[in-house]
Structure formats: C-alpha cells, structure tokens
C-alpha cells in the first residue's frame, strides 16, 4: 500500500496528473508558487491544508498556510507577470521581515513612552500656572488625584515598577512560549492586547478615574503583554538572517527602540497639556493597527516559503565549515534532498544526513517542534510525544549568557531610568515646561540610534562584543557626571550632552539585546540548531528588564529624598550601576583580548612553505 493510500489521499501518477488541481503544464505548485518538475517522485497531495506534503524530496506547505496578505501579493504577482526568481523572492522576503519587525517593535516602544511624558501633568507645580476662574486655596488644584500628594514621585515610580516588574517576570515565560507557537499569532495577539491596555490608561482621563489600583493594574497587565515583542521579533529576524555583519544589521535594525521612544514622546507631548488621555489612546491605536499588519504579512521562518535557511555557524573558525553547510545550502535542490521530518510529519532543519545525527553537548538531537499557522496557539499535549525544547538551565550553560545577562541588568537600569524620568528631570532642573521637556528628551533617543549603529559596526569590525560594550561604558560614566553638572547651563549644552550620553548609554544596551543575544542563541555549541534563540533572548532581556524595573523605582524614591540634592543622588546611582556592569564584563573582555593577541601572534609566526624540487629526485617535493 502506498503512502497516499495509507492516509486516504489521492495518488498522482508519474507524469504529474491527478484528480486534484494542477497547473496547466501538469506540474503542481508549491506554497511559494514554484513549479515542481513533472518527473519528481512520491508526489502526494492532501485534501487537508494541515498536512505537509513531500514533493520531489522537498517539504512544502499548503498555500493556505501563508498569511493572507502574502497570498494576496502572490496572486497579484502571478496576474501581473509571473512569480519572481528565487533570489528576488528571498531578497524581498528578507526586506519585508526587516521592515515589519522594525515597525512592530517601534510600535511597542511608542506605546511605552507616554507615561514618562504625562508624569509632568499628573503632578506639577500649580503655582506656575494661571489659577482657575473660581479662586481656590488648594495648591494641588492642577494635579490628577491620586498623584496630588507629597509622595507623588514615589507613586509615579510605583506605576513604572508595576509595568516593568510585570514585564521582567513575563519575559522569562514569553521566551519559552515563543518557541512553541506560531510567531505571527504570538506577535499580533500581543500587540493587540498591549494596545488595549495602553488605551485603558488613557480612558481614565475621560472617565474621571482616580483609583491608584486601577492605574497599577493596567500598567502591570500592559507590561505582561509587552513581553511578546522582543523574543518574537528577535527570533523572526534570527530565523531569516545569518551571522555575517550581524552587528551592523542589528545595530541599524535596533534603532526601532529609540525611534519608538522619539515618536511616542512626540505624540504624547502633542496632547499632554490639552488632553493627556489622548497621549495614551493614540499610541494604543497605532500598536493595535500594527498588530493587524503583522497578522496579514509576517512570515516567521524562511522554510515556510521555501527560502534558504541562513548560516548560523561561527564565522571565525574554519572548523565550523560543516556546521555552516548543514545550516544552509546554495541551491533549493540541495535543500530538498536534506529535508527531514519529525514525529509530527513536519520538516526539521535542512541538514545533511551526517550532520543531522550529531548531538550538541547542551541539547539532544530529538525532533524539533515547528509550529505553523494551523497549529494551535498552545500545542495539544501528547503523552507519547516528548518535545525537547531548550530549558532554562541548558540555556544558562551557553558561554557568555550569565555575564551578558547580569551586565544588561545594570545597563538597562541606567537606560530605563533615563527613559522614564528624563522629561521630569529636565522639567525640574530647567525652566522648560512639560511640552518643551518632552521634546528635548527625545535627543537622548537620537543618540541611542547612533549608539546602536556605532556599537554594531565596531563589534563587526573587531569581533569583540564585550570589549565594545566595556569601552562605551567607560566613557558613559564620566559623561553622565558632566551632563548632571552642565546640562542645565544652556540649551546648546543640553542638546549636545544629551546626544552624547544617549550614544554611550544605549550603545551597550542595544548591542547586548540584539547581536549578542542572537549570537549566543545560535552559539556553535548548539550545532547550528537555533532552538535556544527565543529562550536566550528572554533570559538576557528578562534579566535586563528586572534592572529596568529597579532603576525607575529607585529613581523616584531617591529623588524624593531631597528637592535640592535628590537628582544628584540619582545620577550617582546610575554611575555606580555602570561601574558594576563594567566589572561584570572583565572576564569576557580578558578572553577577547587573549584571543586577539593569540591570533596576531599566530599570524606573525606563520611560515610560508616554499615548495622546491630536489635535483636528485625531480619528482619529490620537499
């Protein structure tokens, strides 16, 4: 009995004919619109879109597995002038992945920023404002209860912490979930719910809500659903892009963080004085709309549309050539012959038979669970089938994960303290009002865009990620002191110093959360298997997010100690945090320099063997 008969499917004859649909020339179309040769073997066509079909040694997915927007584009492309060639298809898919993930995480950060701008109107100095028409002796008439108390800074810090602690806790879970679900559903659902809770915070202005518990609950739930963003987008980009020039690619791509902060600040500032509720509602609508776009157009993995899998092997060690070859191939025909299937009938990584039998010292060689569109958001439990996903302990064994995670704890503590408190610091330490402080604070994020790109380029050129981070941290410490002392002297000084501090503070943060996380998630010890990518990303960013939660909480409490010296203590705290981050990188920096000098020494001692002929034996080479 043939395979088709065993599953009750229709069989195709060797010339490609069948009772099912086929293209006019008798060849079947794969999910990406590529024609298979009519002489291919073992063609099987399923009536169900949930069955994966092997045709000519390749594993294809039914066209209905593709996002609706991609299917519409393919139909339009076929109608307009036929499908593009494989190279063009791959190029445009990669471009679309970069654009969609870039805009997605821009929307995530755009929806986080309003709270830092709105703080200045929830609690402010009412004596500087024209009094209402009805005279009042209340000195807090312009504040929004419950933030009209003396401990307003502490309460506002509590709002930040509710969001960030929920974000940090959820991040560790989010990475594990991201490995087991369709990332298109994961991201789109997370964005819609994030937009909902951003919207609910703004609704308090229209519904006249003054309950502190309401604000804390909305912030906490919003933080949980915001955790869908980072593991999701980093994993998708890691699936599509290999190791070459990763620092530069991620340095440019990671500017979405700063761009989102800038746009969020601009949008929130536009409404903050007249109606601060719209400062939340508009960003909430934007991230919700972007979630719908993700649902329509995002393709999480290249193999879903028959594109080559990128090389995740080490680019620095020639011994990893086999690993590189097993991670990708130069032609679809080679990939077709390597396709393997797991217990679910799904395709494993495109690896040759010899490489697929290898095992990692950290991970087993069991089947890889590869979720698809028609896979449920949470997979059904099957006691007879064990899914070997990367565990927390196994991910921690990857060299560098612990050091970079702890370093990011303190680096992100500094970055997020600026993110949530910089507008209020500018408002308190200068003569700028809430609107002007909001616009001026965006310069810190402009520096962040430059810093991420600079850090990525230096890391790519030198191959020394830890050293790049350490160098920027060394300069960030004194520059924060300079900004604290001279930033309020003039507008020009404030602009220049904010950009410089943004470069130095956000550079290491951007590099660790992007290129370093992806490099560790595809470490050579994983034998080219990127199963750990979402988990490693979640561990590193989750640890950093705890620091991000601690920083704003401490900043609010420390600033409240003294109105005269409170902000000096805040900057002292930030400088100490960067010193600790620098110390945590000492071992990695030492190892990088050791490898650097060993490589240079080996290059100098390299002896060129001159082949000459022995006159007594002209056929013997010496």
Q: Which tens digit of pLDDT belongs to each residue from 578-604?
A: 999 999 999 989 988 998 888 888 888
pTM: 0.67
DSSP structure class, residue 310? P
**Within a domain: residue 361?**
no
3-state secondary structure of 613: strand
Is the separation of the CB atoms in 218 and 281 below 8 Å? no
Higher-scoring residue by pLDDT: 366, 117: 117
Instruction: Among 276, 294, 309, give the residue marking a domain's end.
Output: 309
CA of 335: how far to CAs of 56, 292, 305, 308, 368, in Å? 11, 33, 13, 8, 17
DSSP-based three-state secondary structure for 615: coil
In a domain, 618, yes or no: no
d(CA 187, CA 167): 15
**226 and 77 housed in the same domain:** yes
Q: Note whether residue 204 is domain-resident.
A: yes
Residue 245: pLDDT band with limits 50, 70, 90:
low
Q: What span, in angstroms and rounded, lies between the C-alpha atoms of 473 and 577?
A: 10
**477 & 578 share domain:** yes
Are 163 and 259 members of one domain?
yes
Distance CA 428, CA 119 (A): 12
pLDDT (mean) for 530-534: 59
Asked if 170 and 281 sit in the same domain, the reply is yes
Per-residue model confidence (pLDDT) at position 181 = 86
Distance CA 449, CA 507 (A): 8
Whether residue 558 has pLDDT greater than 60 = yes
**pLDDT exceeds 70 at position 41:** no
Neighbours of 600 (CB within 10 A): 10
Which CATH number does the domain housing residue 267 bear?
1.20.1250.20
Per-residue model confidence (pLDDT) at position 330: 36
DSSP string, 103-147: HHHHHHHHHHTHHHHHHHHHS--GGGSPPPSS----TTTTS-TTS
Task: Lowest mean pLDDT of 236-240, 325-329, 487-491, 556-560, name the range.
Answer: 325-329
Alpha carbons 62 and 346: distance in angstroms, whole number? 12
pLDDT (0 to 100) of residue 57: 37
Within 8 A by CB and 6+ apart from 398, the residues are: 362, 520, 523, 525, 526, 532, 536
Are 434 and 297 in the same domain? no
Per-residue pLDDT for 372 more than 80? no
60 within domain boundaries:
no
> How much is the pLDDT for 60?
44
Packing angle between helix 465-486 and helix 586-605, nearest 10 degrees? 130
- pLDDT score for 65: 63
The tokens of 326 are what?
A: 């097993």
Please say if the pLDDT value at position 448 is more than 50: yes
Q: Which of 309, 324, 350 is the last residue of a domain?
A: 309
Euclidean distance between CA atoms 192 and 290, whole angstroms: 8
Structure tokens at 55: 């045709």
Q: Are residues 256 and 396 in the same domain?
A: no
Around Cβ 379, how many Cβ atoms within 10 Å?
14
> Do 283 and 393 belong together in one domain?
no
Higher model confidence: residue 213 or residue 242? 213
Q: Is residue 338 a contact partner of residue 350, using CB atoms and an 8 Å limit?
A: yes
d(CA 359, CA 527) in angstroms, rounded, equals 7
Which of 299, 305, 357, 301 minimizes the C-alpha distance to 326?
Answer: 357
Higher pLDDT, 83 or 575: 575
DSSP 45-95: E-SSTTS-EEETTEEE--GGGS-HHHHHHHHHHHHHT-PPPHHHHHHHHHH
Could you tell me if 74 and 187 lie in one domain?
Answer: yes
Whether 222 is in a domain gets the answer yes
275 neighbors 282 (Cβ within 8 angstroms): no
Residue-number span of the structural domain to which 94 is assigned? 65-123+147-309
Give me the percent of the chain exceeding a pLDDT of 90.
33
Contact 298, 70 (CB under 8 A): no
Q: Which helix (H) or strand (E) holds 431?
A: none
Give me the mean pLDDT over the 480-489 stretch.
Answer: 92
By the 8 A CB rule, do 8 and 46 touch?
no
Comparing C-alpha atoms, which of 463, 531, 458 is closest to residue 312?
A: 531
More confident residue, 3 or 141: 141
pLDDT, one tens digit per residue, over 140-184 is: 778 898 998 888 888 888 898 899 889 888 887 887 788 788 899
What is the residue-wise DSSP string for 482-496?
HHHHHTTS-HHHHHH
Report DSSP state, residue 380.
Answer: P
Looking at the predicted structure, is the pLDDT value of residue 356 above 60?
no
Residue 554, C-beta contacts closer than 8 angstroms, at least 6 positions apart: 157, 417, 573
46 lies in some domain: no
- Residue 237, domain member (yes or no): yes
How far apart are alpha carbons 12 and 4 in whole angstroms? 9
The mean pLDDT of the chain is: 74
Residue 40 has pLDDT above 90, yes or no: no
Residue 420 counted as domain residue: yes
Q: State pLDDT tens for residues 407-447.
A: 999 999 999 999 889 998 998 888 888 888 989 999 999 99
Indicate the number of domains in the chain.
2
Which of residues 309, 327, 356 is at a domain's end? 309
| In a shared domain, residues 473 and 597 | yes
Q: What is the pLDDT of residues 455-479, one digit of tens each?
A: 988 988 888 888 999 999 999 999 9
CA-CA distance, 422 to 494, in Å (whole number)? 12
């Amino acid at each position: 009995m043939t395979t088709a008969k065993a599953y009750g499917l229709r069989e195709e004859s060797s010339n490609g004919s069948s009772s099912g649909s086929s293209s006019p020339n008798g060849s079947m179309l794969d999910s990406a619109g590529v024609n298979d040769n009519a002489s291919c073997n073992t063609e099987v066509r399923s009536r169900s879109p949930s069955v994966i079909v092997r045709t000519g040694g390749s594993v294809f997915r039914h066209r209905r597995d593709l996002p609706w927007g991609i299917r519409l584009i393919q139909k339009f492309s076929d109608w307009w002038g036929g499908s593009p060639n494989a190279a063009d298809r791959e190029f445009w898919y990669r471009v679309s992945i970069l654009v969609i993930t870039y805009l997605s995480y821009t929307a995530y950060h755009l929806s986080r920023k309003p709270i830092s701008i709105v703080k200045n109107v929830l609690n402010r100095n009412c004596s500087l404002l024209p009094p209402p028409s009805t005279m009042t002796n209340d000195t807090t008439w312009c504040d929004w209860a419950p933030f009209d108390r003396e401990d307003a800074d502490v309460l506002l810090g509590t709002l930040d912490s509710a969001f960030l602690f929920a974000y940090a806790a959820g991040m560790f879970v989010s990475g594990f979930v991201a490995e087991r679900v369709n990332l298109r559903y994961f991201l789109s659902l997370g964005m819609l719910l994030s937009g909902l809770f951003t919207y609910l915070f703004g609704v308090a202005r229209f519904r006249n809500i003054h309950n502190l518990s309401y604000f804390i609950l909305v912030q906490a739930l919003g933080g949980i659903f915001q955790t869908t963003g980072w593991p999701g987008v980093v994993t998708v980009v890691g699936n599509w892009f290999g190791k070459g020039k990763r620092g530069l690619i991620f340095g440019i791509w990671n500017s979405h963080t700063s761009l989102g902060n800038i746009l969020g600040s601009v949008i929130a500032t536009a409404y903050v004085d007249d109606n601060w509720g719209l400062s939340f509602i508009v960003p909430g609508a934007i991230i919700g709309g972007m979630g719908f776009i993700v649902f329509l157009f995002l393709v999480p993995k290249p193999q879903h549309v028959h594109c080559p899998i990128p090389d995740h092997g080490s680019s620095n060690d020639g011994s990893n050539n086999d690993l590189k070859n097993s991670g990708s191939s130069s032609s679809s025909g080679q990939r077709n012959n390597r396709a393997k299937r797991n217990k679910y009938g799904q395709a494993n990584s495109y690896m040759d038979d010899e490489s697929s039998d290898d095992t990692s010292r950290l991970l087993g060689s069991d089947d890889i669970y590869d979720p698809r569109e028609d896979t449920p958001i949470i997979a059904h439990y099957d006691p007879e089938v064990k899914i070997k996903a990367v565990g927390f302990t196994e991910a921690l064994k990857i060299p560098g994960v612990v050091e970079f995670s702890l370093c990011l704890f303190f680096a992100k503590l500094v970055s997020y303290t600026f993110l949530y408190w910089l507008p209020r610091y500018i408002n308190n330490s200068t003569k700028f009002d809430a609107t002007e402080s909001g616009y001026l604070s965006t310069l810190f994020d402009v520096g962040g865009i430059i810093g991420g790109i600079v850090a990525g380029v230096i890391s790519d050129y030198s191959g020394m990620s830890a050293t790049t981070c350490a160098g920027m941290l060394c300069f960030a410490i004194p520059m924060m002191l300079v900004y604290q002392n001279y930033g309020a002297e003039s507008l020009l000084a404030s602009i220049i110093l904010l950009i410089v501090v943004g470069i130095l503070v956000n550079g290491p943060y951007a590099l660790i959360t992007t290129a370093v996380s992806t490099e560790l998630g595809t470490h050579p010890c994983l034998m080219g298997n990127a199963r750990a990518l979402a988990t490693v990303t979640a561990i590193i960013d989750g640890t950093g997010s705890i620091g991000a939660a601690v920083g704003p909480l401490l900043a609010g409490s420390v600033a409240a100690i003294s109105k005269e010296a409170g902000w000096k203590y805040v900057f002292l705290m930030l400088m100490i945090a960067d010193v600790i981050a620098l110390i945590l990188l000492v071992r990695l920096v030492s190892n990088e320099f050791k490898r650097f000098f060993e490589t240079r020494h080996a290059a100098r001692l390299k002896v060129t063997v001159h082949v000459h002929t022995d006159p007594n034996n002209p056929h013997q080479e010496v």
